[in-house]
């Protein structure tokens, strides 16, 4: 049951990203100093002000990002959950795969993203 709710929150993250919808993205994140985000190739951002500003900047770009998510695995431990997955970026990026870890915390019954870490995959490992 909790895994489905976390997976739904994760789905909404990617929908907000693809739509470049800052309001939807902001509603999904825990807006606190605990928020942490590492976009591929970026230094780690700490605190909602930096994380939110990064999405504002990304959403100003004319590039449309589309995700094909694979190898998704969800773990729920009490009020914390994490999803490991591969983001396969489609479009102008041309077939880039990004290994990702998304962490959510439950507060007042709702799951909020508190951490997103994404790293480009440079080699295929069996």
Query: Domain segments of the chain: what residues?
Result: 2-120
How many alpha carbons fall within 13 Å on the CB side of residue 55? Answer: 25
The model's pLDDT over 29-47, given as tens digits with 9 standing for 90+, comes to: 999 999 999 999 999 999 9
Q: What's the CATH class of domain 2-120?
A: alpha beta
Q: Strands 80-90 and 36-38: what pairing? A: unpaired
Give me the average pLDDT of each 10-residue run along the chain (126 residues).
92 96 97 96 96 96 89 96 94 80 94 97 69
């Amino acid at each position: 049951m909790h895994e489905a709710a976390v997976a739904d929150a994760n789905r909404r993250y990617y929908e907000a990203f693809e739509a470049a919808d800052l309001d939807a993205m902001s509603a999904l994140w825990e807006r606190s100093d605990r928020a942490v985000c590492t976009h591929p190739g970026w230094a780690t951002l700490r605190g909602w002000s930096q994380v939110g500003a990064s999405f504002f900047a990304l959403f100003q770009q004319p590039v449309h990002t589309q995700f094909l998510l694979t190898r998704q695995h969800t773990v729920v431990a009490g009020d914390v959950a994490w999803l490991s997955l591969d983001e396969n970026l489609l479009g102008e990026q041309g077939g880039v795969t990004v290994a990702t870890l998304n962490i959510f915390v439950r507060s007042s019954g709702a799951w909020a993203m508190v951490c997103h870490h994404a790293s480009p995959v440079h080699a295929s490992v069996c």
